[in-house]
Structure 1
Amino acid sequence: MIEIKVNRPGQDLTVKGEAIQRIYGNYLAWRYIVNRRYQRKLVWTLEEKRRFIDSIISGYPVPIVLLAERKAELQNFFEIIDGMQRLNAIFGFIENEYDINGCYFDLNTMAETKALMDEGKLVQREPVLPREACVQVAAYTMPLSIYEFSNASDVDEVFRRINSGGRKLSRQELRIAGATGHFAQAVRLISSKVRGDASASDELPLNEMKKISITNRDLS
């Protein structure tokens, strides 16, 4: 694993590669946080998820996942700045929520998924993807950029900058991401309640996002 650290005043940047199996372990530990002040819901279609998993199985490079690290007493947490849809696609495939080319991830491939299967928390769906393809997924090295920020406003600014071009977010979503005052917060809360996807907090573990991503319920 190659790890590069860049230090600047108020900022610590680490760029590294992490195996999907290790990333999934962090997911099971509820270490990935979604900040709904600027993050949209889970919106990828099944086809988009399958294309992404196919890239991993084929060994193609994938875009970097950008995280903001939060220091905590017992364990650190990672706020997802960019890459939530990709991470959700990976974890959903691993947990047999959907197939690729008619086959499902072999839960016996990783110790974590085998343990969950033995406990009855995951059920193996069939037919099963060939073991070599499952091993490729588990061992695939995801590129990660991990920032340690001195304040939350820096995280907001980074999100706005990386989503200011291309087709990642609509103009409305970018406007929402850039509005962090009390009035904007009230508008977001009321809108969420009207849509039926309100949560008690602006921040949720990635594990809970499927419960409030109403447009995603039929896509997983």
Structure 2
Amino acid sequence: MVHWNISPHPIADVRDWSEAGRLELQPDFQRREVWAPSAKIMLIDSILRDIPLPKIFLAKTIKNGSVHRVVIDGQQRISAILGFLRGDFALDPPYTGPLAGKCFEDFDDDEIDRFLRYRIDFNEADNPTDREVRDVYMRVNKYTVPLTKQELRRADFPGDFLDVSEELSVAPFFEDAGVFTATDRRRYADAEYVSEILAALIDGVQDKKSGLDDFYIDLTEWPADARKSVVSRFRNALLDIEYIFDEIQGGLKSTRFRQKADFYSLFVAIDELKSEGLSLDGKDLSDLISDIRMLDFGIRPEADVDIFSEYAIKCVSQANSAASRRWRADFLKGILAGTYRGCPPRGEGIKLYYQIMDDCAQADSSGFCPPAEHECPECNALIGNIDKECVLGWGPNETTFQVSNAMWFHEECTTENEGWHIIRRPTETSDEQPDLL
């Protein structure tokens, strides 16, 4: 059975082993070096702060009268330390200490001495067999729960952006909304999700798979005015979501909008409307609530209403891509605008309303929209089929313009009474309407 020694060594020893060619960092069972530059920098920060590192496992053998060591577990840490000693990287962000911007060669004598004296705890196996080394490597790694990306960010990117993300993730709203699970809370997925929303507020809809680390790095020190502005936008959008869903029995938790894909796009849509200076103050929410219920009930991959099916699929297939997130946000923004703006839809919003109403009319049993067969509000004659001679509109006294309170008109009837709010059916070649939501 292999014998283990617990032996602390200063960094100076590790450097000497490497320079003498008596330290093997990457035996064939080790994974390749995978640490990001920020992780290496923050490891050096821990050393400079004299924070203990986890133990490193080595196999020690005698070759040609000299002690040779093979790294069993700890390759990434030793590689980062040796790389810093070689001058491979400087103490750039996310490091924010007094040595910011310096390489090891820029340290003064006292700083060099303190760094090289830092002691690392090693578990060293005396002359183990190859099978014993591999067994230790398997045991050390097999029963370790890997850190999530967000748990790594907490270690690698301390700073303002992380602090704000964690603070906002525990807003009282989220306790009742059902957006986060207990596991999300334990593994910091709640803070990661909030940071994705913050990134969207700062620089538009982002792809989850790329770029989030850049916000943590770039906003390690977040200018106070910019930070306060984004936090204010976040909280104001959250207040509007709470206000809207308070009108629905069971609140947001009872709807599909508690799901992260839906909530992200809903949040972006509301923030963009509020950024136009729009508000729900004094607005009648009843028709908007009817539309939200319509979406909550109707959005399914198997829905008869094609555009509802398309939305549902974009919540599953590449749900966190920038393209899917942007499409869903535009869809929801078009619906919400009917109450936020208090005027008929325009541009792409007109296309959206016609697509929803046309799809509902063609569905076998949508049950969501005004029935296709009803009397024209102007001439009281039956509208039997929805075709290109029919247009959408709202009554003269309407102040909100949602799908739920829209009506079909005979187009020829709309010229006889100017009191109706009418939107003409867009054509593929028409450029009369601005291309805006």
TM-score, with structure 2 as normaliser? 0.30
Task: Give the C-alpha shift of residue 149 in structure 1.
Answer: 4.1
Task: Give the C-alpha shift of residue 96 in structure 1.
Answer: 0.9
Structure 1 residues 27-42: aligned runs within 5 Å: 27-42=18-33
In proportion to residue count, which structure has more helix? 2
Instruction: Spell out structure 1 runs of 4+ moving beyond 4 A.
Output: none
Equivalent of residue 143 in structure 1, options 111, 117, 121: 121
1:52 aligns with 2:31: no
Deviations 1:88-111 (A, max 9, x none): 1111111111111210113xxxxx
1:104 aligns with 2:103: yes
**In structure 2, C-alpha distance between the alignment counterparts of 1:40 and 1:52, rounded to whole Å:** 19
Change (3 A) 1:155 1:140: same
Q: Which has the larger displacement, 42-51 or 26-35?
A: 26-35
Q: Is the 8 A contact 1:56 1:136 kept in 2?
A: no
Task: Give the C-alpha shift of residue 131 in structure 1.
Answer: 3.9
**In structure 2, C-alpha distance between the alignment counterparts of 1:42 and 1:145, rounded to whole Å:** 21
Equivalent of residue 55 in structure 2, options 64, 80, 83: 64
Deviations 1:152-181 (A, max 9, x none): 11111110010012217xxxxxxxxxxxxx
Match of 1:160?
Answer: 138
Task: Give the C-alpha shift of residue 37 in structure 1.
Answer: 3.0
**In structure 2, C-alpha distance between the alignment counterparts of 1:34 and 1:95, rounded to whole Å:** 16
Cα RMSD of the aligned pairs, angstroms, is 1.6
Percent identity between the aligned chains?
Answer: 23
Q: 2:63 is paired with a residue of what secondary structure?
A: coil
Structure 1 residues 150-189: aligned runs within 5 Å: 150-164=128-142, 165-167=144-146
Q: Is the 8 A contact 2:61 2:67 kept in 1?
A: yes
Match of 1:201?
Answer: none
Task: Give the C-alpha shift of residue 133 in structure 1.
Answer: 2.9
| Residue ranges of structure 1 left out of the alignment (5+ in a row) | 1-9, 107-127, 169-220
**In structure 1, C-alpha distance between the alignment counterparts of 2:35 and 2:145, rounded to whole Å:** 16
Q: 2:57 is paired with a residue of what secondary structure?
A: strand
Match of 2:399?
Answer: none
AA at the equivalent of 2:33: L
Q: 2:70 is paired with a residue of what secondary structure?
A: strand
AA at the equivalent of 1:166: V
**In structure 1, C-alpha distance between the alignment counterparts of 2:45 and 2:86, rounded to whole Å:** 16
| Residue ranges of structure 2 left out of the alignment (5+ in a row) | 92-99, 148-437
TM-score, with structure 1 as normaliser? 0.59
**In structure 1, C-alpha distance between the alignment counterparts of 2:17 and 2:25, rounded to whole Å:** 14
**In structure 2, C-alpha distance between the alignment counterparts of 1:45 and 1:138, rounded to whole Å:** 23
AA at the equivalent of 1:167: P
Task: Give the C-alpha shift of residue 36 in structure 1.
Answer: 3.9
Task: Give the C-alpha shift of residue 74 in structure 1.
Answer: 2.5
**In structure 1, C-alpha distance between the alignment counterparts of 2:137 and 2:18, rounded to whole Å:** 21
In proportion to residue count, which structure has more strand? 1
1:75 aligns with 2:52: no
**In structure 1, C-alpha distance between the alignment counterparts of 2:128 and 2:41, rounded to whole Å:** 37
Q: 1:42 is paired with a residue of what secondary structure?
A: coil
AA at the equivalent of 1:163: N
AA at the equivalent of 1:24: R
**In structure 2, C-alpha distance between the alignment counterparts of 1:95 and 1:35, rounded to whole Å:** 18
Change (3 A) 1:129 1:73: closer
Which has the higher relative contact order, 1 or 2, with Cα contacts under 8 A spaced 6 or more apart?
Answer: 1
Task: Give the C-alpha shift of residue 132 in structure 1.
Answer: 3.2
Q: Is the 8 A contact 1:69 1:148 kept in 2?
A: yes
Deviations 1:33-89 (A, max 9, x none): 245431011111110000000000111111111101122122121111011111111
